[in-house]
């Protein structure tokens, strides 16, 4: 007879690991099922020659150097996954717009230092930059109030009117209202790509929160790449009595009369009281759930949404040190034009967009590759079905062409030479992510953020939009969207809701 669990988690990505950690820690018998042979989903690493590459983490928010604890650190501590060794960045980012009228700005962490550098770059913007942080703090307070539940509309209107403003207006609208000069706006919104929507499509609330968390708590990187965090969470699940099965793809989620009760793996049914799905919601709707059990509202919501972006990433093992190559910053954003909407538009075609992020882990963790070497990680975005016409026989050549363009764009913009020093190279593209994450079009980002489908709008509707009983979702499709910290926290929240349901016997 098949076994019965309290909870089955479908997928051991960041969301699934956090969810399984929470449910097992709270005494629920938990089985995590993962299709791949290692945990983490996006959060892993791979080896080539004498290098070990980070697959996807640009920088982790919400850890915080002791004693400023961010939610992610609290989660890891709470689950007993305390031994991850985090390193912190000094600078938030460097952004370079080459050419006439361009800029080259390196923004430090720490609010004052950040504001000072912004003022140096664009005289007269300091006040509006400070206002962004103040609004971010106000937002954190308001979210604290909201999370107590049953908010009083009168209190919202009187005490938290600014919160309502920033939650319902775009980043651009709020920065305009703050009279921030456009050039300062362009520099300030550099991180937009981490949420995948440009400044005129992204709510200010989420952008300000992300910025303040990076600038105040500083971005963190795990010493042994993301694989360290994934294995730490996996170990925590084992220690709390949970199980993880790898190479175990869930073929179906069993639902009857509006209630989920199990899954099918390798043709075998396994039962559970609660199912948490970390697989992309699109997979659940198209393949995992029985069509006749999908409530119309879920289908409509999915059809109203766009699938988020995907990437091309290039991993280079260099036979020179970062210093020798003249690389001093961890995050280098090379942009082809100042405006984020224009940057977005350029990423809607397969032609060279000119957009690239270059990360050099050795600037944060010098010993992350052997002495005299360094690793570089490049990212560029693709929106929509840009890769749809690529044939198998063209794939390798196309990847090499695009990687070459990305590398050259960075060489030119940053005034460095890279090509002769490439010892190892790996190029990942949307099909690579489709293969490893099994997400629609290979997106690691869930669904595209939009003003009607912003973090706040999703949060307010989480429970209403999980209409199948005993089936909950977590990960990049969740209320906080993409990003490591978002996925961890969405997994934690989903885990907590499941624990609550189990206690209440729901």
Partner 1 sequence: MSKSYNIDVLDPLRFMARMEERQKRIEEAPAKEISSEYAVNKLAYALHPQKQFVRIQKVMERDADCKSFVLVPDAEKGTETLAYFSAGQYLTVFLDIEGMKLTRAYSISSSPKEALEGRYMLTVKYVQDGLASRYILDNWKEGDSVEVSAPEGFFEYNSLRDAETVVGVAGGSGITPFLSMAQAICDGDEEFNLILLYGSREAEHILFKEEFDSIMAKTDKVKVIHVLSHEEREGYEHGFVTADLIRKYAPETPYSVFLCGPQQMYTFVDKELEKLSLEKKYIRHELFGEMHNPKAQEDYPGGAPDTIRITVTVRDETRTVTGPANDSVLQILEKNGIRVPSRCRSGECGWCHSRLISGKVYIPKEIDGRRMADLKYGYIHPCAAFGLSDLEIEVPAAK
Alpha carbon of 1 to those of 254, 268, 269, 426: distances in Å? 17, 10, 9, 45
Q: What is the nearest approach in angstroms of partner 1 to the Cβ of residue 231?
A: 4
Nearer to partner 1 (CB atom), residue 422 or residue 496: 422
Rounded distance between C-alpha atoms, residue 320 and residue 41, angstroms: 30
DSSP, res 153: H
Element (H, E) at 243: strand 243-245
Tokens 């693709």 label which residue? Answer: 382
Nearer to partner 1 (CB atom), residue 148 or residue 391: 391
Q: For the segment 312-341, give every residue that binds partner 1 (CB under 8 A).
A: 319
Tokens of 319: 């036979």
Q: How far is CA 189 from the centre of its chain?
A: 17
Q: For the segment 91-150, give every residue that binds partner 1 (CB under 8 A).
A: 127-128, 130-131, 134-135
| Torsional sign, CA 38, 42, 47, 48 | positive
Q: What is the nearest approach in angstroms of partner 1 to the Cβ of residue 105?
A: 22
Q: For the segment 341-360, give every residue that binds partner 1 (CB under 8 A).
A: none
- Helix pair 161-168, 204-217: axis angle to 10 deg: 100
DSSP, res 60: B
Q: What is the nearest approach in angstroms of partner 1 to the Cβ of residue 310?
A: 7
Contact 15, 279 (CB under 8 A): no
- x/- letters, 462..501, toward partner 1 (CB under 8 A): ----------------------------------------
Nearer to partner 1 (CB atom), residue 17 or residue 97: 17
Nearer to partner 1 (CB atom), residue 323 or residue 385: 385
Q: What is the nearest approach in angstroms of partner 1 to the Cβ of residue 503?
A: 27
Q: Which stretch binds partner 1 (CB under 8 A): 142-150, 295-303, 340-348, 487-495?
A: 295-303
Phi, psi of 42, rounded to the nearest 5 degrees: -65, -30
Rounded distance between C-alpha atoms, residue 156 and residue 175, angstroms: 22
Element (H, E) at 311: strand 310-318
b/e burial code for range 88-125 (CB count within 10 A of at least 16 → b): bbebbbbbbbbeeeeeebbbbbebeebbebbbebbeeb
Q: Is 177 in the site for partner 1 (CB under 8 A)?
A: yes
Tell me the pairing of strands 86-88 and 220-222.
antiparallel
Determine the 3-state secondary structure of 221 from DSSP.
strand
Q: Is 7 in the site for partner 1 (CB under 8 A)?
A: no
* Of residues 498, 490, 506, the one with CA closest to residue 75: 490
Among 11, 108, 354, 430, binds partner 1 (CB under 8 A): 430
274 Cβ contact partners less than 8 Å away, ≥ 6 residues apart = 6, 7, 8, 23, 28, 260, 470, 471, 472, 498, 501, 502
Q: Which stretch binds partner 1 (CB under 8 A): 210-218, 226-234, 330-338, 343-351?
A: 226-234
Nearer to partner 1 (CB atom), residue 210 or residue 231: 231
DSSP, res 419: G
Q: What is the nearest approach in angstroms of partner 1 to the Cβ of residue 354?
A: 18
Contact 202, 343 (CB under 8 A): no
Q: For the segment 20-79, give every residue that binds partner 1 (CB under 8 A).
A: 37-38, 45-48, 50, 52
Q: What is the nearest approach in angstroms of partner 1 to the Cβ of residue 58?
A: 19
Among 227, 346, 470, 480, binds partner 1 (CB under 8 A): 227
Q: For the segment 252-291, give every residue that binds partner 1 (CB under 8 A).
A: 266, 282-283, 285-287, 291
* Of residues 313, 300, 359, the one with CA closest to residue 333: 359
Q: Which stretch binds partner 1 (CB under 8 A): 111-119, 231-239, 345-353, 488-496?
A: 231-239
Q: What is the nearest approach in angstroms of partner 1 to the Cβ of residue 100?
A: 30
Q: For the segment 73-92, give every residue that binds partner 1 (CB under 8 A).
A: 83
Tokens of 356: 């690239």
Among 140, 143, 301, 348, binds partner 1 (CB under 8 A): 301
Alpha-helical (H) ranges within 347-425 are 392-414
Tokens of 261: 């009760």
Q: Which stretch binds partner 1 (CB under 8 A): 97-105, 229-237, 253-261, 345-353?
A: 229-237
Nearer to partner 1 (CB atom), residue 48 or residue 328: 48
Nearer to partner 1 (CB atom), residue 102 or residue 266: 266
Q: Is 432 in the site for partner 1 (CB under 8 A)?
A: yes
Q: For the segment 364-423, give every residue that binds partner 1 (CB under 8 A).
A: 385, 387-393, 395-396, 400, 403-404, 407, 419, 421-423
Tokens 């980043």 label which residue? Answer: 171
Q: Is 310 in the site for partner 1 (CB under 8 A)?
A: yes
Q: What is the nearest approach in angstroms of partner 1 to the Cβ of residue 406?
A: 10
Total interface residues for partner 1 by CB under 8 A: 97
Q: What is the nearest approach in angstroms of partner 1 to the Cβ of residue 366?
A: 15
Q: Is 506 in the site for partner 1 (CB under 8 A)?
A: no
């Amino acid at each position: 007879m098949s076994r019965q669990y309290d909870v089955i988690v479908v997928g051991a990505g960041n969301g699934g690991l956090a969810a399984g950690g929470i449910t097992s820690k709270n005494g629920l018998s938990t089985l995590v099922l993962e299709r791949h042979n290692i945990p983490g989903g996006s959060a892993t690493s791979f080896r080539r020659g004498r290098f070990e590459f980070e697959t996807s983490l640009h920088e982790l928010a919400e850890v915080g150097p002791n004693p400023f604890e961010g939610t992610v650190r609290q989660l890891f501590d709470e689950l007993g996954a305390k031994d991850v060794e985090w390193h912190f960045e000094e600078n938030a980012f460097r952004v370079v717009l080459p050419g006439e009228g361009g800029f080259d700005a390196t923004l430090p962490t720490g609010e004052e230092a950040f504001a000072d550098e912004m003022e140096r770059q664009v005289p007269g913007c300091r006040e509006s930059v400070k206002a962004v942080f103040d609004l971010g703090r106000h937002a954190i307070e308001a979210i604290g109030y909201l999370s107590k539940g049953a908010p009083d509309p009168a209190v919202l209107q009187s005490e938290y009117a600014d919160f309502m403003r920033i939650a319902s207006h775009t980043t651009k609208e709020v920065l305009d209202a703050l009279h921030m000069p456009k050039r300062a706006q362009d520099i300030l919104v550099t991180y937009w790509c981490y949420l995948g929507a440009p400044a005129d499509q992204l709510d200010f609330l989420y952008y300000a929160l992300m910025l303040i968390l990076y600038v105040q708590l500083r971005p963190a990187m795990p010493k042994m790449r993301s694989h360290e965090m994934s294995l730490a969470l996996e170990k925590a699940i084992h220690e709390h009595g949970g199980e993880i099965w790898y190479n175990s793809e869930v073929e179906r989620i069993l639902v009857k009369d509006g209630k989920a009760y199990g899954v099918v793996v390798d043709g075998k049914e396994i039962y559970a009281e609660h199912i948490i799905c970390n697989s992309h919601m699109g997979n659940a709707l198209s393949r995992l759930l029985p069509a006749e059990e999908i409530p119309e509202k879920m289908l409509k919501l999915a059809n109203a949404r766009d699938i988020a972006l995907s990437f091309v990433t290039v991993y280079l093992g260099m036979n020179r040190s970062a210093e020798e190559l003249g690389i001093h910053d961890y995050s280098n954003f090379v942009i082809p034009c100042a405006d984020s909407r224009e940057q977005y538009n350029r990423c809607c075609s397969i032609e060279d967009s000119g957009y690239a992020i270059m990360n050099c882990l050795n600037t944060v963790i010098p010993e992350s590759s052997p002495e005299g070497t360094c690793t570089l990680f490049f990212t560029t975005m693709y929106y929509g079905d840009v890769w749809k016409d690529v044939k198998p026989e063209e794939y390798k050549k196309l990847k090499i062409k695009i990687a070459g363009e990305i590398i050259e764009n960075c060489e030119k913009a940053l005034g460095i030479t890279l090509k002769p020093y490439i010892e190892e190279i790996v190029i990942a593209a949307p099909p690579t992510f489709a293969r490893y994450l099994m997400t629609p079009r290979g997106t690691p980002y869930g669904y595209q953020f939009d003003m009607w489908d912003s973090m706040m709008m999703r949060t307010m509707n989480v429970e209403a939009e999980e209409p199948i009983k005993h089936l909950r979702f977590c990960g990049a499709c969740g209320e906080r969207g993409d990003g490591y910290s978002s996925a961890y926290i969405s997994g934690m929240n989903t885990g907590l809701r499941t624990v609550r349901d189990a206690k209440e016997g729901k």
